Structure 1
Amino acid sequence: MAKVAVPSSRQQEAWRLMLELFFAHRGQMLSIAQEFGLAPQQAFALQRLQPDEPMKLSDLASALHCDNSSVTGIADRLEKAGLAERQAHPTDRRVKTLALTERGKVIRGLYKDRIGTAPETLQNLTDEDAAILVEILTRAKTT
């Protein structure tokens, strides 16, 4: 495979380091999903669904960057696990939504708490360094 030349800059270096950090902890994130009996796609869907806000299946497919047939399978598995249920759209009977069940709300909260715990490498940052990192990432996120 041909090596693609990437312009070197501090911004590129920052991006590469963020990717390295993410991929270094990817296995841990997948393990946490498995603790809750979730496949990665189900975990992503569970994060996207908001308590007491049913989401159209087509919107969920867009949010997960997958096609409607894929999201149908994800919804099937979430329903089978008792985490979500399909509902009719309130104004359009042709449209189906997916809503978290009470169990789904609990599991979503527990999962988000576990996945949201910073890895030790970040917890070891000083408060000052962490504040700087948060400020920089917040700016990058809103740009």
Structure 2
Amino acid sequence: MRRMAHLTASLRHQQGTAFAELGLTPATARALHELDPDRPLPARDLADRLGCDRSNVTALVDRLEQVGLVERRTDPADRRQKTLVVTADGRGVRDRVTEVMSDSRLLAGLSDQELSTLRDLVWKVSDGGCPELCDSE
């Protein structure tokens, strides 16, 4: 368990460093990653996706908006509601966030067989803790 915790910490450190270079925190990076640049999303839906309170999303969106990555716009279908829209700059940063989240340098020393075994074992141990989330990944 300590080795898995160490691996998790290494991944978080690697990602956190890369996100900081983009001017983001891990939380703002994840929020940006959850937004689809082609489909504006109400803040309440982003809160649901992130599994957090709407007030937390407000602070995250405020930060993303301050640096020009996201804009709040009135929903044309319901003018009472604001939606979150990824800006042109936000699209580029979001693409980079996706690359960082997919970076597998820590696994570079593993053979194809080892990667396959690792994948199977991770699926086996993680399925009991979050089967509905793991099935979508």
In the superposition, the TM-score normalised over structure 1's length comes to 0.77
1:23 deviates by 1.9
User: What's 2:130 paired with?
Assistant: none
1:23-81 deviation per Cα after TM superposition (whole angstroms, max 9, x unaligned)? 23211111111000012221110110112111110011122222222211211111111
1:97-133 deviation per Cα after TM superposition (whole angstroms, max 9, x unaligned)? 111111101111012213321133x111111121233
User: Are residues 133 and 106 of structure 1, via their aligned partners in 2, closer, same or farther at CA, if it must alter by over 3 Å?
Assistant: same
C-alpha RMSD over aligned residues:
2.1
Q: Which runs of 5+ in 2 are unaligned?
A: 128-133
Q: Distance in 2 between matches of 1:29 and 1:138?
A: 22
Question: Which of 43, 56, 81 is the equivalent residue of 1:95?
Answer: 81
Q: Which runs of 5+ in 1 are unaligned?
A: 1-12
In the superposition, the TM-score normalised over structure 2's length comes to 0.80
Question: Which of 73, 98, 115 is the equivalent residue of 1:130?
Answer: 115
- Rg (Cα) greater in structure: 1
Q: Percent identity?
A: 37
Contact 1:32/1:115 (8 A) holds in 2: no
Q: What SS is found at the alignment partner of 2:16?
A: helix
Q: Distance in 1 between matches of 2:76 and 2:5?
A: 41
User: What's 2:135 paired with?
Assistant: 142
